[in-house]
Amino acid sequence: MEQITLSLNGSQVNGRPGTTILDLAQQNGIHIPTLCHDPHLIPIGACRVCLVENEATGALLASCVTPIAPGMVINTESPKVLEARRTVVELLLASHPDSCIICDKGNRCQLRKIASDLEIGQVRFGKTRHYYPIEDTNPFLERDLSKCILCGKCIRGCQELQGAWAIDYAYRGFDSKPATSLEVPLEQSPCEFCGLCVSLCPTGALYEKMRKYKGRETKRVRTICPFCGCGCGIYLELRDQEVIGVSADAENPVNKISLCVKGRYGYDFINHGDRLKKPLIRKNGELEEASWEEALDLVASKLEQIRGESGADSIACLSSAKSTNEENYLLQKFARAVIGTNNVDHCARLCHSVTVAGLAISFGSGAMTNSIAEIEDADVILITGSNTTETHPIIALRVRRAVMKGAKLIVIDPRKIDITKYATLWLSQNPGTDVAWLNGLMHIIIEEDLWDKDYVEKRTEKFEELRETVKKYTPDFVEGISGIPQDRLREAARIYASGERATILYSMGITQHTTGTDNVKSIANLAMLCGNVGIESGGVNPLRGQNNMQGACDMGALPNVLPGYQRLSDQEAAPKFEKAWGRRLPANSGLTVVETMRAAEEGKIRAMYIMGENPMISDPDLKHVEAALKKLDFLVVQDIFLTETAQLAHVVLPSVTFAEKDGTFTNTERRVQRIREAIDPIAEARPDWQIICQLASRMGYKMNYEHPSQIMEEIAKLTPSYGGIYYDRLEKEGLQWPCPNRDHPGTRYLHKDRFTRGLGLFQAVEYIPPAETPDEDYPYILSTGRVLYHYHAGSMSRRCQGLDEIYPESLAEINPSDAQELGVEDGEMVRIASRRGEVEVKAKVTERAPKGVVFMNFHFNEAAANILTNPALDPVGKIPEYKVCAVRMEKA
């Protein structure tokens, strides 16, 4: 491309057309101060601090908005520039309070830094101040707008990047300031406490509350957020052995400078006083502290004893979607090679097992087909069964940005969730009727001749069966089942089919049903029908919930497959593992999570080894889970806190958080990313991988790894899709599998030109109603899920002060008309009962919940939604039906 030549501080330099003077200077290592500029925001050229002189004309130019031009003679430090810059800064200081000494922004304040660089001591102008009260009613950030210089970064960040639009400019002239609508406190506005505005603010006008008086960090460590499957890059900011803050890793392609509230403010669980410090052994009914020697010896001998008495299959391991890939790999190796059973599973079973099953059949590979960043460039987005804003905040940002760029968004969800605010079309279906409306969409698309015939012919098979099956799903018929008005369904079909690059995002609202596998297959059918798989920004994108759920599955922490989804019966794979591991492998598939619990209750499973999971909150039908765990002869729980499950254990082994170990997580877009040890293990806690190794040795199987990187080398050798993944390659940026060899750059989107299985397979499915539907005794539908401020069973997020303060208790969302019938007011307690148990919980009366449906989150043990849920399983994926069960409600 042609280059522009100009003079910059006396040297001749080249730049691409369109480059700003500021960018060019930065590329050439010349610093120009800025206040209103950030490379991630659209420049506005408001503050004039970045002035430079074009000595060819004598003009002063705002370098952040002025593109370079041939023949410019730029001086960034001419006397004229310095004088003008000084004036600008002095003017800003004239309306700024003299509180630098006590301001918590301290030496992170850009204004102060620039002033001192310019050697400004005295301000020549008369002071004209604004006094605003400090707003500090929320737990995360304080606003002292008397220090605001109106750079607009907070507003632009909140609008352009976060898409929340909590704030905008209000008033004008001297009175102008960033404000929420009606100037309500942030917590009453659409603010999501993402903290982006704080990180952008160049002055002390916005600052982090939790960081006050903590001083400046002494070290920053680059790692990955542990709170969800987005896998945002973060820096942990440390003062010695304490994590005092988190900032975004702007180099990480997943999130750039954005984070959500959990990632940014949910770090205080790491140094929390409740952390387990020593192993615990149950003696005379009580858990008592013990040494590692004693605890490990006991676990080893007990497991050996039980295996001796009842066989290896009487033992089951639960792995963890929160632990690293290396640890998941080791735990399944431990189960298979050391204990000798395939009874290993983890809670992906409860979330996305049907995705793995369904998409593997349709496409040959059960993961997100496309990447997070690509969503921003889709022209049609269909979201169903995903409360994206709360469960995958950073993905929701991409969706919002796509909409701001003009994409059409269709949301099909029973609840009026946040993302519906951005939607072109929102349809509320009756819970559990997904196959019906999906077939309905395909019926319309075929009837109106909107499908991609060329694609269907060249890239897929079994289309005729699909065409036959969806014939009877007329809009009228579908309306009867799903409650979606015919014309709206038609509109949705036309919008989806009109997309050049249409993407489907789904999550547990699709999978957590007895028909979960069918739902997933139907989604795959729809995407293939319109030729949307194997293209950039299109695809079928299951959003995986926990930080390493994708990785835990990839590592074979599943009872029916080995690492990389290689089948137990695979004639090549199985012997390869046997050779590498030096043991004969059990051939029969093991038990899944819910099956394990049933077997335990029946006495067939006698011992369980649970790493970092809390089934006492997360599994369906908790009463039975409790009975099952109590019946065990031996229960070992390895965790960071004494969770509800750990309280039932015979031995509790203290493990470390993500901040105290090295390893990798694989995010929902298949990106394998490094986590790094930032602080020493708390007290005597040890990383999961070390504990497993030590235990294996005691059971006569050597696991010699000095560092997780050596485990990853073993994984790479045995797992084709991870074949090229080595730690040295992960230093700068993660790699997306499939990455078969050391030279492979990783794969951004799957199924380009060819499906993993060859041709895409249409799998026609019929609608089947949910296992439990409302009746006279239990007239309401209960649906469960997550909220923005908490994570999983709550053991981490509820120990984060800010998160707990802003969302301190469970709330059941009830539609106003149902509330009225029940005589329940907002904030009153309701009793909710299903055939399996009952809970009392505070009602939140809101239009978000449709009539006849009550929604509960599962983060709180005091009102554990899973006491109520139905353990009826999808026959293929064995996922329980968390999203639909029948309940009755009354005022408590």
Partner 1 sequence: MKGGAIDMSKLDPILTKHEGQKEALISVLQEVQGEFGYVPEEAIERIADALKLFPSQVYGVVTFYSQFYLTPRGRNTIRVCRGTDCHVQRTTSLLAAIEQTLGIKEGETTDDLRFSLEPATCLGKCSLAPVIMVNRDYYGKIVPRELETILKRYE
Binding site for ligand FES (CB under 6 A): 34-37, 45-50, 62, 64
Rounded to a whole number of angstroms, the minimum distance from the CB of residue 171 to ligand FES is 21
In the Cβ-directed half-sphere of 519, how many Cα atoms lie within 13 Å?
32
Contacts with 535 (C-beta within 8 Å, 6 or more apart), sequence order: 501, 749, 752
Q: Which one among 158, 276, 646, 781 touches ligand SF4, defined by CB under 6 A?
A: 158
Contact of residue 46 among partner 1, ligand SF4, ligand FES, none (CB under 5-8 Å per partner type): ligand FES
C-alpha 202: how far from chain center: 28
Decide if residue 182 touches partner 1 (CB under 8 A). yes
SS3 of 51, please?
A: strand
Q: Toward ligand SF4, which CB reaches closer, 206 or 380?
A: 206
Rounded to the nearest whole angstrom, what is the least distance from the CB of residue 654 to ligand FES in the complex?
Answer: 50
Determine if the peptide bond prior to 687 is cis (ω within 30°). Answer: no
User: Which of 179-187, 280-288, 435-443, 547-555 is the region at the interface with partner 1 (rule: CB under 8 A)?
Assistant: 179-187
Among 43, 195, 366, 738, binds ligand SF4 (CB under 6 A): 195
Q: Cβ(695)–Cβ(304) under 8 Å?
A: no
Q: Considering beta carbons, is residue 34 or 332 the nearer one to ligand FES?
A: 34
Residue 114, class by beta-carbon neighbours within 10 Å (0-12 exposed, 13-18 middle, 19+ buried)? buried
Coil, helix or strand at residue 801: helix
**In the range 131-170, which residues lie near partner 1 by CB under 8 A?**
165-170
Token duo for residue 129 = 């101040």
168 vs 777 by CB, closer to ligand SF4: 168
Name the binder of 182 from ligand FES, partner 1, ligand SF4, none, CB < 5-8 A by kind: partner 1
Q: Give yes or no for residue 267 binding ligand SF4 (CB under 6 A).
A: no
For ligand FES, the closer CB: 37 or 521: 37
We find the least distance from the C-beta atom of residue 839 to partner 1, in angstroms, to be 33
- Single out the residue of 152, 531, 620, 654 in contact with ligand SF4 (rule: CB under 6 A): 152
Interaction between residue 846 and partner 1 (CB under 8 A) = no
Continuous segment of H or E residues that includes residue 59: strand 59-62
Of ligand SF4, ligand FES, partner 1, none, which one sits near residue 50, judging by CB under 5 to 8 A according to partner kind?
Answer: ligand FES
Output the CA–CA distances (angstroms, integers) from residue 42 to 38, 46, 206, 730, in the order listed: 8, 12, 21, 31
Please, what is the minimum distance in Å from the beta carbon of residue 663 to ligand SF4?
16
CB 437 within 8 A of CB 489: yes
Give Dmax over CA atoms of the chain in angstroms: 92
User: How buried is 753 (Cβ within 10 angstroms: 0-12 exposed, 13-18 middle, 19+ buried)?
Assistant: exposed
If one asks whether residue 171 binds partner 1 (CB under 8 A), the answer comes out as yes
8 Cβ contact partners less than 8 Å away, ≥ 6 residues apart: 24, 25, 28, 30, 74, 76
In whole angstroms, what is the distance from residue 419 CA to residue 625 CA?
34
Q: How far is the CB of 848 from partner 1 (least distance, A)?
A: 15
- We find the least distance from the C-beta atom of residue 421 to partner 1, in angstroms, to be 9
CB contact at 8 A, 855 and 387: no
**Cα angle 871-873-877, degrees, rounded to a multiple of 5:** 135
Among 49, 62, 225, 523, binds ligand SF4 (CB under 6 A): 225
Please give the helix or strand (H or E) that residue 506 lies within, else none.
strand 502-506
Rounded least distance, CB 140 to ligand SF4, Å? 7
Please state the closest distance from residue 401 (CB atom) to ligand FES, in A. 23
Binding of partner 1 by 172 (CB under 8 A): yes
Q: In this chain, which of 54, 203, 469, 834 binds ligand SF4, going by CB under 6 A?
A: 203
* Residue closest to ligand SF4 when measured from CB atoms: 263
675 neighbors 658 (Cβ within 8 angstroms): yes
847 makes contact with partner 1 (CB under 8 A): no
- Interaction between residue 681 and ligand SF4 (CB under 6 A): no
Among 193, 463, 473, 641, binds ligand SF4 (CB under 6 A): 193
Rule CB under 8 A: which of 186-215 touch partner 1?
A: 189-190
Instruction: Provide, rounded to whole angstroms, the least separation between the CB of residue 49 and partner 1.
Output: 25
Among 47, 51, 179, 205, binds ligand SF4 (CB under 6 A): 205
From the list ligand FES, partner 1, ligand SF4, none, which binds 34 (C-beta under 5 to 8 Å, kind-based)?
A: ligand FES
* Binding of residue 232 to ligand SF4 (CB under 6 A): yes
How would you classify the pairing of strands 502-506 and 870-873?
Answer: unpaired
Question: Residues with Cβ < 8 Å from 713, sequence gap 6 or more?
Answer: 726
Q: Residue ranges of the alpha helices (H) in 363-485?
A: 388-391, 393-404, 434-447, 453-459, 463-470, 475-482
At 525, give phi and psi (nearest 5°).
-55, -50
191 vs 636, beta carbon nearer ligand SF4: 191
Binding site partner of 154, from ligand SF4, partner 1, ligand FES, none, Cβ cut-off 5-8 A by kind? ligand SF4
* Residue 169 binds which entry of partner 1, ligand FES, ligand SF4, none, CB below 5-8 Å type-dependent: partner 1
Tokens describing residue 548: 């390493």
Instruction: Give the nearest distance from C-beta 286 to ligand SF4 in angstroms.
Output: 36
**What is the strand order of the sheet 344-345 is part of?**
286-289, 280-283, 651-654, 634-639, 607-611, 315-318, 344-345
Run of H or E residues at 802:
helix 801-806
Whether the CB-CB separation of 463 and 412 falls below 8 Å is answered with no
Of 200, 351, 356, 787, which one interacts with ligand SF4 (CB under 6 A)? 200
Among residues 114, 17, 137, the alpha carbon closest in space to that of 805 is found at 137
* x-marked contacts with ligand SF4 along 119-148 as a string, rule CB under 6 A: -----------------------------x
Point out which residues bind partner 1 (CB under 8 A): 165-172, 179-183, 189-190
Residues that bind ligand SF4 in the complex, under the rule CB under 6 A: 148-154, 157-158, 162, 164, 166-167, 178, 186, 191-197, 200-203, 205-206, 225, 227-228, 230-232, 255, 259-260, 262-263, 393-394
